[in-house]
């Protein structure tokens, strides 16, 4: 088979043309958005079951992404292959479900064959298609019409502009529904515990050191006693937390403070640790987000942050910069 090479100039021009055509399609779609969109949002918000997204071919792949976005932002959803549905997977659908059917032409055979049994089940059908006059558009309970759009494919065949428009409209729909649900950052975190976004949305109280992992130091302790506590505390936190008898935080003595005393030649193990405390240490609250602690570590170039109770200055924990590394943040 002969080796095929592309003219770099022609390739660049084609790439720019495709991007411009798809960007223009989204701008056109935005201008066409009307009251049908609000109807679709209300249908999803009112759905008592799941949003079942279906489409054939490239539209089906776009549907999988839309379904995943809905599910991750508070709307129970699953993706259903229309051909598989016709051979048994239709049993996944219930009358309380909403079907989001994607077909650019509105004449996709597998989608049209699926509509009668879906109506028998009693599910509501919302269509994303070019026109409400297509086969899918006529049989759906509600339609989000894309309107006429040309493909970016030089042959005019490969789904490009149309699938981009479907994806953009699906994202718009999902975000409008998210806002309608008052979906919170905390809920988002609960759906994304394994990702970086989810970890940033964890609470400090979820990862902080506590109990025997806290290097608690009496306010009348000597410097030598403080160093011994720092060394013997599980996890070697690199600091001592000086507290009153009722565990109010007085200050923090860190490895950095120790190195400074050594370099100055003023290290006296018998001297009171209270004489060497960092003034007004930066603290966090246990209900703050882990992402906030990350920014503090970066901005202030510190390695430890004492954690105080939500409503008072009672010491409840400690966050070390290593703790963020352990959760891969």
**pLDDT tens per residue across span 187-204:** 776 676 666 666 667 788
Compute the average pLDDT of residues 271-290. 86
15 and 158 both lie in a single domain: yes
158 and 288 both lie in a single domain: no
Residue 227 falls within a domain, yes or no?
yes
111 and 156 both lie in a single domain: yes
Contact 178, 74 (CB under 8 A): yes
179 and 210 both lie in a single domain: no
Beta bridge partners of 259: none
Residue 6 falls within a domain, yes or no?
no
Compute the average pLDDT of residues 318-329. 81
**At a CB cut-off of 8 Å and minimum separation 6, what does 86 contact?**
110, 113, 114, 117
60 and 142 both lie in a single domain: yes
- Nearest Cα to Cα of residue 51 among 102, 104, 106, 112: 102
CA 120 – CA 30 distance, rounded (Å): 34
Residue 302 falls within a domain, yes or no?
yes
Give the helix, strand, coil percentages of the chain, each rounded to 5: 50, 20, 35
- Nearest Cα to Cα of residue 200 among 285, 287, 293, 286: 293
Compute the average pLDDT of residues 234-245. 91
Give the domain-ending residue among 116, 150, 183: 183
More confident residue, 313 or 120: 120
Compute the average pLDDT of residues 263-277. 90
Quick: pLDDT tens for 54-93. Answer: 999 999 999 999 999 999 899 999 999 999 999 999 999 9
Quick: pLDDT tens for 36-55. Answer: 999 999 999 999 999 999 99
Q: What's the CATH number where 298 sits? A: 3.10.580.10
174 and 313 both lie in a single domain: no
Tell me, what's the pLDDT at 76? 95
35 and 104 both lie in a single domain: yes
In this prediction the pTM is 0.69
224 and 314 both lie in a single domain: yes
> Whole domain around residue 123: which residue ranges?
11-183
Beta bridge partners of 304: 320
Tell me, what's the pLDDT at 6? 66
Tell me, what's the pLDDT at 190? 67
């Amino acid at each position: 088979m002969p080796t095929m090479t592309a003219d770099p100039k022609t390739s660049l021009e084609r790439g720019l043309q495709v991007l411009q055509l798809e960007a223009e399609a989204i701008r056109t779609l935005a201008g066409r958005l009307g009251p049908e969109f609000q109807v679709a949002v209300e249908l999803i918000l009112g759905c008592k079951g799941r949003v079942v997204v279906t489409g054939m071919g490239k539209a089906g792949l776009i549907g999988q992404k839309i379904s995943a976005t809905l599910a991750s932002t508070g709307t129970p959803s699953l993706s259903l292959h229309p051909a598989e549905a016709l051979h048994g997977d239709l049993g996944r659908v219930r009358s309380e479900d909403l079907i989001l059917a994607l077909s650019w032409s509105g004449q996709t055979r597998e989608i049209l064959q699926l509509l009668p049994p879906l109506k028998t089940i009693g599910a509501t059908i919302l269509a994303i298609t070019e026109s409400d006059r297509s086969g899918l558009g006529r049989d759906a309970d509600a339609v989000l019409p894309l309107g006429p759009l040309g493909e970016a494919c030089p042959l005019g065949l490969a789904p490009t502009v149309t699938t981009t428009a479907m994806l953009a409209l699906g994202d718009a729909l999902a975000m409008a529904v998210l806002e309608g649900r008052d979906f919170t950052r905390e809920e988002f975190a609960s759906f994304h515990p394994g990702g970086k976004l989810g970890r940033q949305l964890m609470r400090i109280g979820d990862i902080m050191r506590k109990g025997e992992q806290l290097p608690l130091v009496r306010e009348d302790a000597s410097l030598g006693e403080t160093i011994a506590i720092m060394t013997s505390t599980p996890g070697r936190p690199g600091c001592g937390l000086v507290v009153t008898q009722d565990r109010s935080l007085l200050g923090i003595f860190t490895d950095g403070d120790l190195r400074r005393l050594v370099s100055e030649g003023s290290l006296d193990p018998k001297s009171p640790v209270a004489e060497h405390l960092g003034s007004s240490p930066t603290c966090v609250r246990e209900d703050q987000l882990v992402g906030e602690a990350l920014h503090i570590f970066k901005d202030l170039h510190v390695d430890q942050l004492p954690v105080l109770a939500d409503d008072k200055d009672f010491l409840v924990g400690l966050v070390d910069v290593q703790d963020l590394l352990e959760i891969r943040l």
